[in-house]
Structures are given as C-alpha cells and as structure tokens.
Amino acid sequence: MNIASKLPPQHVDRTYFSSGRAAFAFLMEHEKPTKVYLPAFCCWSLVSTMLERFRDVEVEFYGMSTFLDGPPNSRFWPEVGAGELFVRIHYFGHQNKGWVIHGNGIVLDDLSHSYMSIFEKGEPIQQGTYEFGSYRKILKVGDGGFINTYFNPVYEPSKKLDTWLRYESKDWRDMKEAENMLDRDWQVADISSQSLAVILTTNKEFVRQRRVQNEAFLEEHLKDLDVGRWHIMYRPGECPLNHSRMFDTQEERDDLRSFLRTKDIYTAIQWPTHPYILQNASEEVLASALYLERHTLAFPVMQEYNLNDMEYMINSVEEWKRSGT
C-alpha cells in the first residue's frame, strides 16, 4: 500500500514530455496543421520549433492587448479555418480570456506560465481544443512538459546527457547548461523521473498562495514608491508567474534593472521580440509586443522567496529611487 502510494499516478488525463516545446511539437505532429497562428508576443521556443521542425507549415503572427487578456482591439476576431491551428498563450499566470475565435480550427492553450492558475470556465469563455505547457517556468525542475489530454506517444530516444548533468551538477552553471542542452534539440522525448517526482509532490496550494502574497506585496509597495504601474490585474485563483510592471520609458526601466542587478536582484524582460517575428509581422501586429518588450519589467515572486525577500527588493528599489536616477 505504501509503495503503491509512491508510484506515479496513471496517466489518464495528462501526457508528459521533456519540455513544453516537445508537447507542442507532438500536437503539431498529431494534428498536422497547414497553418499556425502565433502571437507576436511570444516565447522564442515556439518560434524556434516552427522554424526548425515544421519549416513547411505557414506561420502567421497576430497582435494582442497590451494587458494580455484578449485581442488588440474589439474589431479583431480571428478566423481559424479547418486544418489551421491557433496558439493562445495565457501570459504570466493570467487568463487570456477575451477571445472569440471563429472557424473550425484547433485552438491550443499554452499554460506554461499558468498551469497552477485556476481559470474561469464556461460561457462566454471559449475553451481551447488542447492545453499544453512547460513546468520549468514555475517549478525548479530541469525539464518537463505536458498536454492535458491522454496520448500514448512513441518518445524519440534521447542521446542527450542533460539529465546526467543535472544529477551531477556542481552549481547553477551546470544546471543552466543542462537546460540549454535540452533546448538545443527538438525531440519529442519523455519527462525525466527527477522532474516528475518534483511535480507530483509539489504543494500547489502553497505555491499559489506564496506567489500571490509576494506579487501583491510588490504591487502595493511599488505603487507607494510611485515606481512604474501595474500591468496584470490577477483574478482570484490565478497564480502569478512574476510581478510585471510597466514603465513610461525604456531608459527608466533599464536603469532600474541595472541597479537591481548590483544588488543581486535579477529581473527579466519578457520577451525580446524574435528576429523572425520582426521580419514577418506587420507594424500593427508588432505594436503591443514591442511596447511590452521596451516598457515592462518582471520581478521574481517565486515560492522560494518570502516577504523578507520582497522587502529587500522594495528597499533596493527605494534606494534607486532616492539616488535620483
């Protein structure tokens, strides 16, 4: 009985992969779309997968609202025809729910940032055909992706040694190299048992509560300091990936980012726009992606951090503010 309770659960409603990208590639191979719609504000790994593994499939980029909860304007309702595939990313743990997607095409919900968020369901929210994602954004795991549907994939044999390297790692650089090793290939491979063990034993409620608490603390105190302005208004049940903040100018944002780095606080810019998107998307489609690239900064709110860590960040931002830059 005790042994059985430690075994991984039967995969009845989920399929595991080595990465979110592998999960995406599997769905691409399963559905074989002729055309894929990707948001211009997009993780590079999706673009890379299309360019490296599905070169013959047409890709069209679309724009989204700056607040990442729907289309860029009320006139944009995409038409996704049969045999076409529309990728809708739920950014930063926030439900991107304001979409009405016409047609008989396939809608993929990317939950890489949001798999711990509890989303609203039912009318008028349009459910996607499949949900997929990566575990690495929220949990400290070296690999791991999923589709929230049962499949029985034939995994490609992996010759990579990234799992070995994670096991043998001496420091964060080894871990980063292991992650990079995984990302250099586009295989549809299985998740490692190391990551699966972490995923299956994580206290999701703790993760959600801690991230909500950290994010709310940052929002409240950065507002008091009059540094940037809120970007994402999280709904109850959502689990923030980070605290994303908007700044009036790129210079202000970059200056704060550099200052925080001197305090060992590492913020992120999500995302620099992929060169392929810059070359292939219209100015209108690119507008919000470029704005977000230049004006937002993501503060860490990981569950490993508590309010003391958040306070350290706020004190550092206050120091930057006082220095008058």
Q: Based on CB atoms, which residue is closest to another protein, 45 or 129?
A: 45
Q: Based on CB atoms, which residue is closest to another protein, 183 or 254?
A: 183
101 within 8 A of 125, measured Cβ to Cβ:
no
3-class state of residue 194 by DSSP: helix
Angle at the Cα of 174 from the Cα atoms of 171 and 176, rounded to 5 degrees: 110
236 within 8 A of 297, measured Cβ to Cβ:
no
Dihedral sign, Cα of residue 94, residue 245, residue 205, residue 113: positive
3-class state of residue 245 by DSSP: strand
Q: Based on CB atoms, which residue is closest to another protein, 34 or 180?
A: 180
Q: CB of 181: closest distance to another protein in angstroms?
A: 6
Q: CB of 157: closest distance to another protein in angstroms?
A: 13
Q: CB of 76: closest distance to another protein in angstroms?
A: 28
Q: What HEC string does 174-191 produce?
A: HHHHHHHHHHCCCCCCCC
171 within 8 A of 177, measured Cβ to Cβ:
no
Q: CB of 175: closest distance to another protein in angstroms?
A: 9
Binding site for another protein (CB under 8 A): 44, 159-161, 164-165, 168, 173-174, 176-177, 179-181, 183-185, 266, 268-272
Q: CB of 166: closest distance to another protein in angstroms?
A: 11
66 within 8 A of 39, measured Cβ to Cβ:
no
Q: Based on CB atoms, which residue is closest to another protein, 128 or 300?
A: 300
Q: In whole angstroms, give the CA distance from residue 49 to residue 55.
A: 9
Q: CB of 3: closest distance to another protein in angstroms?
A: 31
Q: Based on CB atoms, which residue is closest to another protein, 168 or 319?
A: 168
59 within 8 A of 50, measured Cβ to Cβ:
yes
Q: Based on CB atoms, which residue is closest to another protein, 156 or 318?
A: 156
